[in-house]
Structure 1
């Protein structure tokens, strides 16, 4: 039995993409899987996937320094292949390749040079030097590493000359088998994911102010955590100032395996991301989670989003920088329950036919087979 060691120093140990999809798919295919990840509050009982908990750095800039200490832990697992998920682990991946001579896969979650330019914790004058340093590091490392997994063609453009595979982070079909259309609450609007300024939260709150003037029964529910206490205070103060406390609810972050319970009740799901460079080349997984649960989508009108939403007839597109555009879409859908039902069913069909992990799993296993055989 081949042994795979999967590594992340940033993502939750039971992350949807890493643990529930990739690790479980590899385990079910007959691989022995070990996961090195930040120590969770509660350990799952799953003897078939060994979790080696590590401490997560509290400061962003300490990630690179901390990552090097992970090298020894990973090397001790004596795996047949290593699979790492964070850009700060590139030096670790290179060391593992050089010292073990085993295959090492870099799993690219987003367009990292673009993402660096949007980092709030980096000073403006520092962003370009950090981006250039990252690109140099990546250029040196990629010929040494064995392969790359990425999402979207735009992100993959950086890796096309290396052994690589495009594997999207589509939802698990079994997670949404209990979702029922008759459970939907037409007044329940959901925002799922991290709560940050570049995800259009301020614009969404302003839009909802306009919505509640005409639709006072509507509720906007946030499932996810704030990026900082400062931003949390700012948003909650604004909600109090405009009198939306009774219409907006923050539930915090929930375990991946429990998000279906919130999606099953919502009728509309919102993705109001702002047009920062990284958002223009990435596809958020929550778009497909909304579709999987039969939730109608209101999404930013970006080319990637437009292609999916229009092809699947699963929702409406808006200008995320204009609260009135978001408000109009919410009101239009709420005024047309038959349209909501039709789009919800259409989105679910597209998810069931195409946008689900069952299809991506085959690509993952084929890529592993190719990498290990070579």
Structure 2
């Protein structure tokens, strides 16, 4: 089978939420033939209509050279008319793919220059050099036929006529509709997703050691830990018995955890990157009907300005998070009210409308393909 669209990533695992379960699966569900080339993983994902080709996991340096080249070759061999790229390390392949007559979509998950400036382990001079190089990469990325971005802010660096913001809103699940009340769940605070300094790993580790952290409650975390991040404070928090890090789990297992929790926490530091992104976990917390404790971010306040389900706290303040947890623990009515408001708000932030806009983009790039396939099927 020759696919219509091939999604390509040399960095993301094949179980990735945005790459596979949202974007590639949405195109396949709409009637396109879709292949995914992505990195092997021991994790599992729900069955989709996407044809998955896995490439080996490699260390960063080898991945950027060997894996990106392997991914390009596989994309060309697929003969797909549309190639949808998902990593900055694949930007160099855009001119090659265009010369080969392919229609190219580049997916900017984050703002690359801001991301470079947030790398604390690099010196100022190193960050300045890499940021300068990243602007050059983005000029190449802007030559793609379409640029899909995770937020409007990320899209500002690309030509207006070719960019499209597709947000990482969660897809609806029957399990969310069957959820039980917060009071019927364990006394659990949940955090899902990557743990790093910018995403508040040390803040979370300190929360459970605050005098105000309520007795009988536990903080449960799942997700990978950034390689440059120290885990000493996290291990000390686990030693108290009030915190658990469950390691890396699949996207569905992460959402299942939320249905067992009462509160979700987003402890991001204020950086140029975190100030302009919509954390997927925030919307997954809403879908699970959780009360939410989040860093006081102006963008998130604006997004949820008419919804009373979030307690905003100062950045880098574990004591404020612990106090917010205690407030919910001591006021069940407030907890239930915020949970109900979260569930109501979740209806505004779902994947279905985003999927429709993404499929409409593919229809522009592949005119008549779905219609012809539907007619062919009907004539059989």
Structure 2 length-normalised TM: 0.89
Aligned twin of 1:199? 199
Aligned-partner SS, 1:197? coil
1:356 aligns with 2:357: no
Is 1:313 matched up with 2:305?
no
Structure 2: 5+ residue stretches without partners: 369-380
The aligned residue for residue 256 of structure 1 is 251
1:143-158 alignment, distance < 5 Å: 143=143, 145-158=144-157
Find the aligned partners of 2:131 and 2:15 in 1 and give their Cα distance.
29
2: CA distance between counterparts of 1:61 and 1:76?
Answer: 22
State the number of aligned residues: 366
Q: 1:127-148 deviations in whole A, cap 9, x for unaligned?
A: 11111111112213413x1001
CA shift in 2, pair 1:23/1:245, >3 Å: same
2:109·2:149 contact (CA, 8 Å) conserved in 1?
A: yes
Counterpart in the other structure of 1:39:
40
Gap change, CA 1:171 and 1:44, over 3 Å in 2? closer
Matched, 1:295 2:290: yes
Distance in 2 separating the partners of 1:37 and 1:120: 28
Aligned Cα RMSD in Å? 2.3
State the partner residue of 2:83.
82
CA distance in 2, matches of 1:43, 1:51: 13
- Aligned residue runs from structure 1 range 44-123, under 5 A: 48-59=49-60, 62-64=63-65, 66-99=67-100, 101-120=101-120, 122-123=122-123
Q: Is the 8 A contact 1:68 1:91 kept in 2?
A: no
Contact 1:94-1:141 within 8 A present in 2 as well:
no
For 1:132, the equivalent position in structure 2 comes to 132
Residues 313-352 of structure 1 correspond to what in structure 2 (within 5 A)? 313-352=308-347
Paired residue for 1:17? Answer: 18
Give the secondary structure class of the aligned counterpart of 2:311.
strand
Alpha-carbon spacing, 1:254–1:42, altered in 2? closer, same or farther (3 Å): closer
CA distance in 1, matches of 2:14, 2:81: 21
Q: Which moved more, 1:224-233 or 1:306-315?
A: 224-233
Using the TM superposition, give the Cα deviation of residue 76 of structure 1 relative to its aligned residue in structure 2, in angstroms: 0.2
2:281 alignment partner in structure 1? 286
Name stretches of at least 5 consecutive residues in structure 1 with no aligned partner: none
- Rate the CA distance shift 1:169–1:214 in 2: closer, same or farther, 3 A: closer
Structure 1's 30 and 214: CA in aligned 2 closer, same or farther, altered over 3 A?
closer
Q: TM-score, normalised by structure 1?
A: 0.91
